[in-house]
Amino acid sequence: MTAPAIRRQRVGRSVTSRAADSIVRRLISLNGWAAIVILAAIFLFLAVNARRALEEVGFWVMSLGTEWYPTIPTPRFGFLPLLSGSVLVTATALVLCVPVSLAAAIFISEFAGGRVKEVTKSIIEFMAAIPSVVYGLIGIAVVVPWVRATFDTDSGLTALSGAIVLAFMIAPTIVSISEDALHAVPNSLRQGSLALGNTRWETTYKVVVPSASSGILAAVMLGMGRAIGETMAVLMLTGNAAVIPDSLFDSVRTITGTIAAEMGNVVQGGLHQSVLFTLGLVLFSITFLINLVADLVLEKQRRRWQR
């Protein structure tokens, strides 16, 4: 009988082994907080650097100002031209993108068969992986000349050009998230509707789409957040005139484009730099809220089907 000898060796798992387990647990838990820490740090550092502008110019003066002349002797830091540029480009991109993306999502989730579904999804995934600077480049080569020729504008660098390219850039987000939402609708609901004598399409728009509506809404919101935050493509395509636009064929400058274009040429610690950080803070707050609402909606939807 060898058992007693073996047991003596075993008894009392070493103190180091226990300590190691708890140290590792603590280390790992610490990393779990990384996301919260970084989000908080982003806010903090934007706010600290924006302080000078908020004190010297004032939040409302910037937010409601209609002129953006940051480099003249008495500079004007009005955000409205930039804000309206961002809103115009984003809204147009959504109008162009949402109907097509939702239709595509419905097709992929409800009508496409196994192989078609897989190939379509991976091609759309590829689209999401193309760097935004490359989208900008293709926009310069293809979209800008087309806009110039079709709408007879001077340069073709317009809000519309940016919006068209942006529409393609956010399509993968909207397609894949709304496809997920449609896919998550339990099959029992579909079968119930089909058994009542509805066609697949009737089932889709009477049952499936309404059931997935909150997820689809979240998809559109996330697409919107992405569009507002997109930088390189709009910087390369919208012409960057910092004036409140009258139409889609005007050249506009977005919040992101302004930060990207001007941050490289400012005096460190200067007022202009601080204003740009304020602009970043505004952008961060907008996208934070959009994403938060969208995530809460998605979470609620997930729980709904879990039951």
Partner 1 sequence: MTESREQNVTGVFELENVSVTYGSEVAIAGVSMHIPPRAVTALIGPSGCGKSTLLRCLNRMNDEIGSAKVRGRITLDGADIYAKEMDPVELRTRVGQVFQKPNPFPMTIYDNVAYGPRTQGTRRRSELDEVVERSLKRAALWGEVKKDLKKHAFELSGGQQQRLCIARALATQPEVVLMDEPASSLDPISTQQVEDTIAELKEYVTIVIVTHNMQQAARISDLTAFMLRESMEEPAQLVEVGETRVMFTNPGDKRTEAYITGRFG
Partner 2 sequence: MSRRIRQARLTQTLAVAITGAAAAFIVTAALFLLGYILVRGLPAMSWEFISQPPRGQMKAGGILPSIIGTLALTSGTAAFALPVGVAAGIYLSEYAPRGRMTRIIRLAISNMAGVPSIVYGLFGLALFVILFSFGTSILAGALTLACLTLPVIITATEEALRQIPSDLRQASLALGATRWRTIYRVVLPAAAPGIVTGSILGLARAAGETAPILFTAAVYYKRQLPTSIFDDVMVLPYHIYILATQVTGRPDDIIWGTALILVGGVTAGSVIAATWRSLQRKKVRW
Window 6 to 65, contacts with partner 1 (CB under 8 A): 6-7, 10-13, 18
Q: How far is the CB of 10 from partner 1 (least distance, A)?
A: 6
Residues written for the chain? 307
- Our CB check for partner 2 shows the closer of 73 and 264 to be 264
- Our CB check for partner 1 shows the closer of 13 and 303 to be 13
- Our CB check for partner 2 shows the closer of 23 and 66 to be 23
Instruction: Convert residues 13-32 into a mask of x (bound to partner 2 by CB under 8 A) and - (unbound).
Output: ----xx-xx--xx-xxx-xx
- The CB density around residue 210, as the number of other CB atoms within 10 Å, is 12
Please give the helix or strand (H or E) that residue 69 lies within, else none.
strand 68-69
Residue 284 binds partner 2, judged by CB under 8 A:
yes
What is the C-alpha to C-alpha distance for residues 89 and 213, in angstroms, rounded to an integer? 25
What is the C-alpha to C-alpha distance for residues 74 and 157, in angstroms, rounded to an integer? 29
Q: How far is the CB of 192 from partner 2 (least distance, A)?
A: 17
From first CA to last CA, the distance across the chain in angstroms is 54
Is 252 strand, coil or helix?
A: strand
Q: Which residues of 218-244 are buried (b: 16+ CB within 10 A; e: fewer)?
A: bbbbbbbbbbbbbbbbbbbbbbbbbbb
Residue 280 binds partner 2, judged by CB under 8 A:
yes
Stretch that binds partner 2, among 52-60, 63-71, 145-153, 272-280 (CB under 8 A): 272-280
Where in 197-216 is the site for partner 2 (CB under 8 A)? 198-202, 204-205
287 binds, among partner 1, partner 2, none (CB under 5 to 8 A by kind): partner 2
Where in 147-186 is the site for partner 2 (CB under 8 A)? 168, 171, 175
Residue 260 binds partner 2, judged by CB under 8 A:
yes
226 binds, among partner 1, partner 2, none (CB under 5 to 8 A by kind): partner 2
Helices within 184-244 (DSSP H only): 187-195, 200-203, 209-211, 213-229, 232-237
Residues contacting residue 177 through CB under 8 Å, at least 6 positions apart: 215, 218, 219, 222, 223, 298
Cβ 183 vs Cβ 107: under 8 Å: no
Please give the helix or strand (H or E) that residue 77 lies within, else none.
strand 76-77
Residue 138 binds partner 2, judged by CB under 8 A:
yes
Q: How far is the CB of 127 from partner 2 (least distance, A)?
A: 4
Q: How far is the CB of 6 from partner 1 (least distance, A)?
A: 5
Helices within the chain (DSSP H only): 3-10, 15-32, 34-56, 59-64, 80-106, 114-129, 132-138, 144-151, 159-183, 187-195, 200-203, 209-211, 213-229, 232-237, 255-262, 271-306
* DSSP bridge pairs for 77: 68
Handedness of CA 279, 283, 286, 288 (dihedral sign): negative
Q: How far is the CB of 9 from partner 1 (least distance, A)?
A: 8
- The CB density around residue 107, as the number of other CB atoms within 10 Å, is 16
222 binds, among partner 1, partner 2, none (CB under 5 to 8 A by kind): partner 2
Where in 100-129 is the site for partner 2 (CB under 8 A)? 100-101, 103-104, 106-108, 110-112, 120, 122-124, 126-127, 129
Stretch that binds partner 2, among 55-63, 68-76, 138-146, 184-192 (CB under 8 A): 138-146
Where in 52-91 is the site for partner 2 (CB under 8 A)? none
146 binds, among partner 1, partner 2, none (CB under 5 to 8 A by kind): none
Residue 94 binds partner 2, judged by CB under 8 A:
no
Can you give the binding site for partner 1, defined by CB under 8 A?
1-3, 6-7, 10-13, 18
